[in-house]
Structures are given as C-alpha cells and as structure tokens.
Amino acid sequence: MSPLFTPARPRGFLRAAAAAVALSSVLLTTGCGSSDGTDGDGKATAAALAGFPVTVDNCGVRTTYDEPPSRVVTIHQHPAELMLALGLKDRMVGTAFPDSAVLPELKRDYEAIPELAEKEPSFEKILDAEPDFVYGGYGSAFAENEGRSRKAFADAGIDTYLNREYCGRKRATMKDTYGEIRTIGKVFGVPDRADELVTDLQTRVGKAAAKVEGEPEVPVFVYDSGDKSAFTAGGKSLGTELIRLAGGENVFADLDDVFGDVSWEQVVERKPEVIALYDYAGSGSVREKKKFLLSQPALADVPAVRNKRFVVLPLTATLVGIRSAYAVEDLARGLHPESFR
C-alpha cells in the first residue's frame, strides 16, 4: 500500500471522535461560556449544544448534526473567510485553493491554518487532516471524477456542505449570502454570531446603496477573461445584483446563465461606461487584462475603454460569502465616485 494512501475511516469513527471532543469541551467550559453559547475561543458549550440536533438540507443532501463539527477543512477561499468571520478559527484544520488576497482583518487567522493544497486537495490529503466536516465553495470541491464525491466523504464518516450557489438554483442573490451565513451559524452552534454578522453586512450594503440612491444607472460590462470572445457574468450571477445595488446595470443581464461567452461585437453595441474586472489567480493579472482591452482597436470607442474606467473586484467578492457586501461598496465608489466625496 502506498505510504501516501490513508484508508477511509469507517462511518461513525470520526463522528465518535468529534463527539468526544465536543463533550470534553462542554465539561471544561460549562459555567464560563459567553452569551452566544460559546467560550472566548468559539468552542461549543452546553448552551450551544442545547440547540442540537440540527438538520440541514444542502444541495439534496440531508444531514443531522448532533453536535457542532470540530475539525473542518474548507476547499476554496470564500468558505474559509465565512468561517473565520464567524469566529470559528479553532474548528479549522485545513484550507485549500486561495484565489485572491484574504480580507486584511482575517489574514492572520487564515495564515495560521494549514494550507492543504494550492488547488483542490486529493481525497487522501483531506483524510490526513482527519476532518469531521468539509465545506466546499465551488462544485469542483466534490468532483466525483477526482475521488472527492460527497458520497465518498459520507462513506468515510465525514459530513460535507457545498456553498448554496452551486446547488443548481436559478439565481444567486444577497439573500443567499445571508442564508448561507445563518445556516453555517446553526450548524456550528453560533446562531447569534451569524445574526450579528448578517446585520453588519446588511448595514454595509445599505449605506453604500443609500449613497447612490437616485443616481442614473451606469452600464457595466463584467470582464472575467477571454480574447477571441469575452467570458462575462450573466443575469443569474450574484454579480448582477451587486452591480444593481451599487447603482449600475449589467449590460449582459439578459444572458440566461451565471457566466457565459459573448462576442466583442456585442460588447461594443452595448456601450458599457465602466468595466468590472474580476481578479483571481489563473485568469491573468489585472494589468494584463487592462492592457488587452485598451489595445483592441475594435473597443476603442467603447466609453469604458475610451475613458479608462475600470473597477477591480476579487472573484471571491462576487460569490455567496461575506465579501459580496464589500463588493457593493467598492462598485458604488467606482460607478458613482462623486457620491463618496
């Protein structure tokens, strides 16, 4: 047997270990827990466990949690940031696939957690971390053809959760972001923290939207990548709602998909006044994207190109996660700078 291979634990092995950890935490912290049902480090107390069992339906997988997960691996950056924003660093035993700079206030905590892989880690690598819960950001987190199906994890006694944006919903909205936070808060026994975080994000969005209220909508083209055609955000993407909240209009909101390819002729016809550049590893740098767009003779008369009006957004800020609220403010400043002077 290869030394790199770790046999799958029988179902219940890791859950039994997690239960023992959770019980020890309760015995050690009862009587000194915080008002939200956790101690200062986010560990579950008797008050938190009183809310269990918790049953969650996620992308067709129904799971009942008898206690909060205690050893978590996140695959992709936005689930990790959401966990950290809920004060759950102590539950995290591994991260994977960072694709943009982490929020400054979360950077230290993020870097303190072992990074299992630059991309999606192998099933065996994840098992080595002995998690009882794996939280995936994109559908590829649980790619069956790479041996990471949700069934494979379940057979190993490990619960899984997939970001709801990849559950085949018709459209992603900010309600999905708030719902995602509250669901994770319930699963981990910190619903009060989740409610507080949602309130903070809603306030951030509300303030940005209020700044641009009444301003004319600015036509926006999202440029993700592509040269022979443009890969852009369609009407079902969360990005379309972020643009609307920021006082703009996605010029390809009629594209009936989350993402899709459009021709450069279509971009020219729709005359965007601002181009939102999605920034993430593997898609070319922001500098390269700007250079490409500015060098195309066919785009010379597009208002956004002619006036060099670009707004840069980390891709993670356009997904269901805590960064989307920040994206509204960044977009609003880029679309209506006069409203923020």
Note the pLDDT tens digit of each residue in 107-121.
999 999 999 999 999
- Both 242 and 151 in one domain: the answer is no
Tell me the HSE value of 320 on the side-chain side, using a 13 A CA sphere: 28
Q: Are 150 and 143 in contact (CB under 8 A)?
A: no
- Both 180 and 58 in one domain: the answer is yes
Q: What is the pTM of this model?
A: 0.82
Neighbours of 128 (CB within 10 A): 17
Q: In the structure, what pLDDT confidence band is assigned to residue 247 with cuts at 50, 70 and 90?
A: very high
- Both 71 and 105 in one domain: the answer is yes
- Both 123 and 165 in one domain: the answer is yes
Q: In the structure, what pLDDT confidence band is assigned to residue 39 with cuts at 50, 70 and 90?
A: low
Q: In the structure, what pLDDT confidence band is assigned to residue 49 with cuts at 50, 70 and 90?
A: confident
257 occurs within a structural domain: yes
Per-residue pLDDT reduced to its tens digit, 84-138:
999 999 999 999 999 888 999 999 999 999 999 999 999 999 999 999 999 999 9
- Both 175 and 231 in one domain: the answer is no
What domain range includes position 313?
215-340
207 occurs within a structural domain: no
Count of domains for the chain:
2
Cα separations in angstroms, 178 against 210, 230, 323: 19, 30, 12
- Both 219 and 192 in one domain: the answer is no
Cα separations in angstroms, 86 against 33, 72, 119, 190, 279: 16, 14, 24, 8, 25
Nearest to 47 by CA among 36, 59, 63: 36
pLDDT of 45: 55
Handedness of CA 92, 98, 102, 107 (dihedral sign): positive
User: What is the average pLDDT value for the chain, to the nearest integer?
Assistant: 88
302 occurs within a structural domain: yes
- Both 112 and 160 in one domain: the answer is yes
Tell me the HSE value of 16 on the side-chain side, using a 13 A CA sphere: 6
* Residue 84's CATH number: 3.40.50.1980
- Both 21 and 170 in one domain: the answer is yes
- Both 108 and 42 in one domain: the answer is yes
